[in-house]
Chains A and B, each alone.
Chain A
Amino acid sequence: MSGVHPGDIEAFAAAVGTDDPVCVRGGGSHWMLGGEPAAGVREVVAPSGIAAFDPAEMTVTVGAGTTLVDLAAVLVEAGQEVALEGPSGATVGGVLAVGRSSLRRGRVGAARDALLQATCVGADGRLFSAGGPTVKNVTGYDLCRLLVGSLGTLALLASVILRTRPVPEESCWLQGQMEPAAVAAGCHRPATLLWDGARTAVRLEGYREDVEGSAESLVAELGLEPIEGPPALPPHRSRWDGTLPEGGILEVGSGVVHGPEPLPVPVPAPGVAALGRRIRDGFDPTGRLNPGRDPYRLVA
């Protein structure tokens, strides 16, 4: 796969330009989230390709238009991965813009913690960088976290540096008729806990002997049974409001519930909404970046 070239990033900035409304099309996998882009808006495509992968440093520099599948294929050769997850076709930039964390967040962490540096195009057409290339950094404000989940309404991601992590040696799924707390108490740092109101499904990850040992004890002591993969998740993802809807499955600890029907999107307190508006207006005074999109309408 060819690497993303600095010239590609500048070409992307030129394509974004300075005046008219634009939206970025990534893989289109999350196209409807947070509102459809306003009609007739010009589409731009972020650069793709891997510019640098440094397995010894555990970082990768990648064009925002690169698909997760293409990225994963390169990383896995060095036994590594990133904490991003998305449907097939999803791009790095798209998944970051949506900001949803992996189902495995109990092990891999939140999506927003994976982004170290972002090179973006601002509403004025200028390129700017947020964050830094190192795995630890508190130099200046943490714009990276603000960009993750912003649906491209503050700036358009061109290229990013992501933290990589070792692929776990072993993983497995188990399920049983019991409360998630009981399962959680019976294993160390599960990657995922899913609760459908009666059963808990758990994903274990880690070194082979540890995963096998934990699985054996969950089976012997709590009566869980191995399953092939996660239970099928209902189609609508919502923010959990404290009660499990009929037919819903809760991602324990992640505030996300998957249900047959969407739940209402929570309304931010007035002060929080006002602050969000000031931030959007500050970054994009004329509203030209991804018009129609609103992170506050993004469900969970």
Chain B
Amino acid sequence: MRRRRWSTRDPLVADLEAAVGAGHVQAGDAAVHLYSRDGSAIGGGRAGVVCLPGTAEEVAACIRVARRHGRAFVPRGAGTGLAGGAVPCDDPVVISTTRMTRILDVDIERRLAWVEPGVVNLDLTRHLAGTGLHFAPDPSSQQSCTLGGNVANNSGGPHCLAYGVTSAHVAAVEVALPDGDLVVLGEEEGDPVGYDLRGAFVGGEGTLGIATRIAVRLTADPPEIATLLLDFPTIETAADTVSAVVASGIVPAAMELMDQRVVRAVEPHANAGYSLDAAAVLIVELDGLPAGVAREVEAVTRIAGAHGADSVRVASDEEERERIWKGRKAAFGAIANIKPSYYLHDTVIPRTRLAEVVAEVNAIADRRGLIVMNVFHAGDGNLHPLLVFDEREPGVLEEVFAAGEEIVRLSLSVGGVLSGEHGIGLEKRQFMPLLFQPADLDAQRVLRDAFDQDGVANPHKVLPTGASCGDVQGMTRLPEGTWV
């Protein structure tokens, strides 16, 4: 017997189809399954129905339909988020921006581009090639993550060290608010008029509404770039070099650290030129005008030498530079060769404490019999310890979660924070009270409630709610369409 097409009989589906067109609503098992996870280790979510609007007005219409039917909604970009931000709780309407991929306008003179939220980060960069401008935030997931997702998570990337994370590059954003209204927050140029609602929206993890158009600031390409590859005999000497470079007053464009396990996993595939014998490899990129870059190359080389670097190599051409970066950005994919599952953490610590904290992170993993790999944005103290394991080993998951919590507590104990770029989502909301007092959380709730008076936008995310939705599981594969 053929299965009945129940979707058209479901009034919610019918109303969504009326809003976005019949071909753009998915309610079948496959879709519900596909949209129940993101790039995080969080399982247990369940999409009610998935819709793919094509315009800002359609996004707003989807929100109104969801509300009319008493459903929450969850914005979704490429689903590469690592904190469960796009994992649906309470059978919500998942509103995917994947059809909204137009670059609407690029104003070279004013260094501003208006884009739709589904534009993939790297596609904007490619579109701008040859203009002398680029969009600075470059998450390692830039081949697949969307600008809407970047805005929602206030994402970072290696080059955000000197240039700032997404918030510094978003001038204005058109938002479909949780009440179904469309508003533009922020200004194309300069400081906002009135409250900085744009600044408040960025990093809202989809709980404040849906970004439907984004005005991003474009950054001038640097006239000169030097990419340095440094080898160290220990991870501590590499970390101390990072701290010393920051303390010297140099602000590199990027400063990324990889430990030996990562290097050995990456190098055979990427041929990036990393030394397999080094205990740690550091990538330092310096940019600007030629004389300053030359002086900084000299200074970094001297500082690294004083801290025991085994070698310092400056990329001799663009091809070598690209290979060095390709290796770094492929790191997460390469770990699949070590163990089948991984759990990635994201905390920030003071940059002066890197060496001791990384050593302690490794000790935590050792004590629990786990393998940890470190590949992270060292220049701003943003740790990414990656625990790799085989889920089939009995009891290993408990050890992984316990180690994760220890790493979080360790980071906080030295004056750090819970997340540098992946956000809180579902993954870390229970840790929020470790960093924030009740009054701090109340203030955050005031902001959220002002945007979302009825609690319909991406419920249960960011702030602790007590509700159980989505449990942390081992991550065995990335969702479809995720590039690693």
Binding site for B on A (CB under 8 A): 54-58, 79-80, 99-101, 109-113, 122, 126-130, 132-143, 145-146, 148-150, 154-155, 165-166, 181, 188-189, 206-210, 213-214, 239-240, 251, 253-256, 265-266, 268-269, 271-273, 275-276, 278-283, 295-296, 298, 300
Which of these, B288, B417, B449, contacts A282 with CB under 8 Å? B449
B72 at the interface (CB under 8 A from A): no
10 chain-A/chain-B pairs, Cβ below 8 angstroms: A109-B164, A113-B168, A132-B417, A136-B377, A138-B420, A149-B195, A188-B288, A214-B289, A253-B111, A269-B183
A279 lies within 8 A of B447 (CB) = yes
Q: Range of interface residues on chain B?
A: 35 or more
Q: A143-B200, A188-B288, A295-B194 are in contact. Are A133 and B462 (CB under 8 A)?
A: no
Using CB atoms, name the residue of chain A closest to B160: A136
A136 lies within 8 A of B380 (CB) = yes
A239 lies within 8 A of B193 (CB) = yes
Q: Mark B437-476, 1 if CB is under 8 A from A, else 0.
A: 1011111101111110100000000110000000000000
A279 lies within 8 A of B420 (CB) = no
A145 to B328, CA, bound (A): 32
Residues of B within 8 A of A166 (CB): 249-251
Q: Which of B326-367 contact A (CB under 8 A)?
A: 348-352
Q: A128-B442, A166-B249 are in contact. Are A275 and B451 (CB under 8 A)?
A: yes
A145 lies within 8 A of B444 (CB) = no
Q: Mark B39-57, 1 if CB is under 8 A from A, else 0.
A: 0000000000000000000
B138 to chain A, nearest CB (A): 14
Q: Mark B403-425, 1 if CB is under 8 A from A, else 0.
A: 00000000000011111111110
Residues of A within 8 A of B109 (CB): 181
Using CB atoms, name the residue of chain B closest to A214: B289
A60 to B415, CA, bound (A): 14
Q: Which of B21-29, B229-237, B290-298, B316-324 contacts A (4 or more CB under 8 A)?
A: B290-298
Which of these, A138, A210, A269, A295, contacts B289 with CB under 8 Å? A210
B437 lies within 8 A of A146 (CB) = no
A167 to B72, CA, bound (A): 49
A210 lies within 8 A of B290 (CB) = yes
B396 at the interface (CB under 8 A from A): no
A283 to B450, CA, bound (A): 10
Residues of A within 8 A of B185 (CB): 272
Which of these, A56, A137, A253, A298, contacts B243 with CB under 8 Å? A56
A272 lies within 8 A of B196 (CB) = no
Q: Which of B352-396 contact A (CB under 8 A)?
A: 352, 377, 380-382
B450 lies within 8 A of A138 (CB) = no
Which of these, A135, A137, A253, contacts B110 with CB under 8 Å? A253
Using CB atoms, name the residue of chain B closest to A282: B446
A143 lies within 8 A of B444 (CB) = yes
Which of these, B194, B446, B453, contacts A268 with CB under 8 Å? B194
A141 to B444, CA, bound (A): 6
Which of these, B165, B181, B435, contacts A139 with CB under 8 Å? B435
B184 at the interface (CB under 8 A from A): yes
Residues of A within 8 A of B449 (CB): 282
